[in-house]
Amino acid sequence: MSIPPPTAQVEQPAIHVHGLEKSFKQLRVLRGVDIDVARGSIFALLGSNGAGKTTVVRILATLLKADGGTARVAGFDVATQAADVRQAISLTGQFAAVDEILTGRENLVLVARLRHLSEPGVIADDLLRRFSLTEAGSRRVRTYSGGMRRRLDIAMSLIGNPPVIFLDEPTTGLDPEARIEVWQAVRELASGGTTVLLTTQYLDEAEQLADRIAILHEGRIVVNGTLDELKQLLPPAQVEYVEKQPTLEDVFLTLVGTKTEKEQR
């Protein structure tokens, strides 16, 4: 089911956030956040724990009301056109939002029914195949591994082909293998034209996936650009000659550091 886009919104960004503010009691979490996300791109919101990434996502997903500023998703205002926004988005939260008592297939059918789609069973089987969950589809989700849950979670988010998808820390707590699987799924999404906003605290994740990266710090976006643009923010590399005897710590860090880097690749 898709909603015919009003003609005026074609050039608009998929997500437009301006001057977004939010406080929890005395704590000012967001102090004027500005973001624009182009259609069909992957946008990574970086920040340390408690920086407010999840708050931004929750406001954009209509789960939380902002105190100030405007936010539009797929051309709709999150405050005044929340129902239209919900039609156009899907959210994968920090903790896998799956029903553990149901089977994987039942979870997918449930979401397809709630999105009022015809043939929910066909949609479910198709997604189980795409996410290599066909065999596990008839098992209860309680028996799934962390990676399988996450895959199911993301599969549930794809039902109905929403044009904008929010992934809040999609790989937190996953082992490296599961992480790569999730990355693969995200790339496929974006290549299909879906706009993806993901939050992460892993810098390499942003580096791997995102077309644009923004860093959220103390309630504001401190930088926003492509990876290359961000790299240029630092002063150009200088060549200096320093004579230095290696310490045992240097040796250790060099050896171990290189090794872990290789393993990650």
Contacts with other proteins, residue ranges (CB under 8 A): 61-65, 83, 86-87, 89-91, 93-102, 106, 110-111, 113-116, 140, 153, 156
Task: Compute the distance between CA of residue 202 and CA of residue 229 in angstroms, rounded to an integer.
Answer: 19
Task: Compute the distance between CA of residue 124 and CA of residue 105 in angstroms, rounded to an integer.
Answer: 6
Cβ nearer to other proteins, comparing 33 with 98: 98
**Nearest approach, Cβ of residue 261 and other proteins (Å):** 33
**Nearest approach, Cβ of residue 99 and other proteins (Å):** 6
Cβ nearer to other proteins, comparing 86 with 217: 86
- Enumerate the H helices of 61-145 as residue ranges: 82-88, 104-114, 120-130
- Enumerate the H helices of 103-247 as residue ranges: 104-114, 120-130, 146-158, 176-191, 203-209, 227-232
Cβ nearer to other proteins, comparing 113 with 220: 113
Cβ nearer to other proteins, comparing 49 with 264: 49
**Nearest approach, Cβ of residue 84 and other proteins (Å):** 8
Q: 12-33: buried (b, 16+ CB within 10 Å) or exposed (e) per residue? A: bbbbbbeebbbeeeeeebbbeb
**Nearest approach, Cβ of residue 29 and other proteins (Å):** 17
